[in-house]
Structure 1
């Protein structure tokens, strides 16, 4: 049997169509991972362009480190999580459908338990996506501050995509924990959602500082232009 094509191997338009097809998979978990993957690529671009600039030589080691983390560590993890979440949640939905069709109470209970076991796994996937996207936000802020000034649009987009991945992951985790409310797993993980939300708020503040600094530069540049004779 031929192995199914990985979702990320599909052309962009086909992949986006898969998200808009009204099916359970790929779903929000894979979407969160995809935001992280986009953040990775943008950070790599900023590092590549910054490494070409001799005037930024003092920060070349930093750019090389960030680039290696984004390309060799975080990207592969998010790639795997994208595919894994799509596969796992598709199976959750299949088990739920089988449960709803079952007439035997023992069979129904077993299928419900299997679906919730796997939902715990998909929730853990979301927490891992959040962790990786937080790292990307930090890396994005670093390269925004020290990278080549002309590609700060890319680093800003990388920060934004990383934050979007985190926010999406927190939405998903909370929704899943609500479904798993009668399980020990939910009681253990709900406090983590609160901690992640606090960390997200801190990262957003740092991201807004980047926006504010660039806005100040833009205002100053325009004002200087206006006072030219």
Structure 2
């Protein structure tokens, strides 16, 4: 199935086999692109968090945190995951339309046509930028959930917790990349002037989340070093 057939199909892209979906991302086309990729990173994070919560709920040593796990599971299943799925699909389809409108603008023979197509494409780009803001903000919440389960979930699945944190961080960073680029493209529009402060606030929040995430890496790395050194023969 071609990339365009994937987009034109009524079947959600996320329902496609993984090989087809990955091929679409690597097809050299504009869509599905960075916005959908950011949403996919968030979805991967969400699924890993759900797995860690489910496993931890079956471990006696984690029983005291069952209520916390239940809250996280509910927030992801009822709110975060469904919305990220919607944003994945919406971004793929709307950005494909942005590209199509830009081609029509470039092919237009009158200034009015060029202006009309340009306005339509910019309006859709603003919509796609709103998607990126939302993806980044949802992924920010997933970082928090990931850190909680890293600290309180079953110790043996902290690799999954760490991967969840890393994927969520990537979702936020990808969103900021997209937003910043789009605001630069839309620099002459009121939208950019209204949104630039929000983008900067997101960037500052991301710095704090990254520091918290890095503490998780530091702690488990220190555990590994300590464990290995304890096993080393004296004099090594």
TM-score when scaled to structure 1?
0.97
Runs of 4+ in structure 1 off by over 6 angstroms are none
Query: Residues of 1 paired with 2:171 and 2:19: CA distance?
Result: 20
Query: Which one of the candidate residues 207, 213, 218 is aligned to 1:212?
Result: 218
Question: Structure 2 regions of 5+ residues with no counterpart?
Answer: 1-7
1:34 pairs with 2:40:
yes
Query: Residues of 2 paired with 1:93 and 1:129: CA distance?
Result: 21
Deviations 1:99-120 (A, max 9, x none): 1111011111011000000100
Q: How many residues align?
A: 227
How far off is 1:4 after superposition? 2.2
Match of 2:141 in 1: 135
Query: Residues of 1 paired with 2:78 and 2:57: CA distance?
Result: 17
1:190 pairs with 2:196:
yes
Query: Residues of 1 paired with 2:93 and 2:130: CA distance?
Result: 14
How far off is 1:226 after superposition? 2.0
Equivalent runs, 1:102-117 vs 2, <5 Å: 102-117=108-123
Query: Residues of 2 paired with 1:137 and 1:65: CA distance?
Result: 15
Query: Which one of the candidate residues 162, 185, 207 is aligned to 1:201?
Result: 207
Equivalent runs, 1:71-90 vs 2, <5 Å: 71-90=77-96
Equivalent runs, 1:144-159 vs 2, <5 Å: 144-159=150-165
Deviations 1:120-141 (A, max 9, x none): 0000000000010000000000
* Root-mean-square deviation (Å): 1.2
Deviations 1:45-64 (A, max 9, x none): 00000000112111000011
Question: Structure 1 regions of 5+ residues with no counterpart?
Answer: none
